[in-house]
Amino acid sequence: MKAILITCTFLLLTLTGRSQAKDPIEHNWYNEEQTAKIQIYKEKDGKFYGKIVWLKVPNIDSKPKIDNHNPEPAHRNDPILGLLLLKHFQKHGENKYDNGTVYDPRNGKTYSCDVTRKNNTIEVRGYVGISMFGKTTTWTIAD
């Protein structure tokens, strides 16, 4: 009986550990200019998101940088630090994450986006309409 209890406990711990394994994209990443770190994480909905967790220059005139180009006036005073940039990415295959969006606080626009992981870098491709007409930036792992 004791052996069965130990075996069941071991199996439960093993299964719990596997379900909590991090995806290789779940890290902090420097943007291409290395002016920000974006934390990519998996939410309970099974999709991946990314938020700004560090800024090289977090303040302007001793005040936090704000999202002053946001298309929604109610959010133009939201701080850039903590801003959700990447939303709703689904993993397809080993290294591909797609069907998401990326928000650019420099111009207040949101683009369709695909992300491809390549070892310690990710290629973030934002586009309007079809991927062919877009721009790719390369982010490097920060942690």
Using a 10 angstrom Cβ sphere, with 0-12 exposed, 13-18 middle and 19 or more buried, the burial of residue 134 is middle
List, for residues 93-122, the tens digit of each pLDDT value.
999 999 999 999 999 999 999 999 998 999
For 86, the token pair is: 């990447």
Domain membership of residue 7 (yes or no) is no
Q: What is the pLDDT of residues 18-77, one digit of tens each?
A: 456 899 999 999 999 999 999 999 999 999 999 999 999 999 999 999 999 999 999 999
* Residue at 4 is within a domain: no
Q: What domain range includes position 94? A: 23-141
First to last CA, the chain: 45
From CA 33, how far away is CA 24, in angstroms rounded? 22
Burial grade of 40 (CB within 10 A; 0-12, 13-18, 19 or more):
buried
**75: CATH:** 2.40.128.520
- Sequence-distant (6+) residues with CB within 8 A of 69 are 76, 105, 106, 107, 108
The answer to whether residue 96 sits within a structural domain is yes
In a domain, 51, yes or no: yes
16 part of a folded domain: no
Number of structural domains in the chain: 1
Q: Is residue 10 part of a domain?
A: no
- Asked if residue 32 belongs to a domain, the reply is yes
pTM of the predicted model as reported, rounded to 2 decimal places: 0.84
